[in-house]
């Protein structure tokens, strides 16, 4: 693995923002074909006191068509603290046993705002990679000089 995530990973937005609530939220499944691992980053907003918020991962052979998503043992991140407003939860799954992986954000007891969730698949079997259509812009700069951006 080199230093260029734009060429050596695939980024996918797997969940848009979700308003304050206590219902669990399933992210979109990502196809792991051609990649060894996926890191899922959930960005959280305001957390109400007594909230119980965590993230886990699930897998499926066919994105839930005939093989329902099932929890991956040990993937639960543990609960955020009430003071963890505007922080992130990160879960990495290396070499899942099935082709599709998705995050599940667990929310309970009191409100938690979700700003969104992004999945980063790496390392690829072939480079360069192409990001998912959910990524509008990406750029790589190598040793850039100071000046106008």
* Higher-scoring residue by pLDDT: 15, 127: 15
Task: Please state the pTM of the whole predicted model.
Answer: 0.92
Cα separation, 26 vs 14, in Å, equals 9
pLDDT at 87: 98
pLDDT at 143: 87
**Residue 7 pLDDT exceeds 90:** no
Q: Which CATH class is domain 5-123?
A: mainly beta
Q: Given pLDDT bands bounded at 50, 70 and 90, which one contains residue 2? A: low
Whose CA is closest to 3, among 104, 91, 123, 108? 123
- Sketch the domain layout of the chain as residue ranges: 5-123
């Amino acid at each position: 693995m080199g230093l260029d995530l734009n060429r050596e990973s695939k980024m996918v937005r797997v969940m848009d923002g979700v308003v304050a609530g206590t219902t669990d939220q399933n992210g979109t499944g990502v196809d792991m074909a051609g990649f060894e691992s996926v890191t899922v980053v959930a960005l959280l907003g305001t957390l109400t006191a007594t909230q119980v918020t965590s993230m886990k991962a699930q897998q499926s052979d066919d994105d839930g068509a005939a093989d329902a998503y099932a929890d991956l043992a040990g993937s639960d991140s543990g609960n955020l603290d009430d003071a963890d407003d505007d922080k992130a939860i990160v879960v990495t799954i290396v070499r899942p046993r099935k082709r599709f992986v998705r995050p599940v954000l667990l929310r309970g007891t009191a409100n938690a705002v979700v700003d969104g969730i992004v999945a980063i698949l790496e390392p690829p079997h072939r480079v360069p990679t192409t990001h998912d259509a959910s990524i509008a812009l990406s750029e790589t700069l190598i040793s850039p000089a100071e000046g106008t951006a």
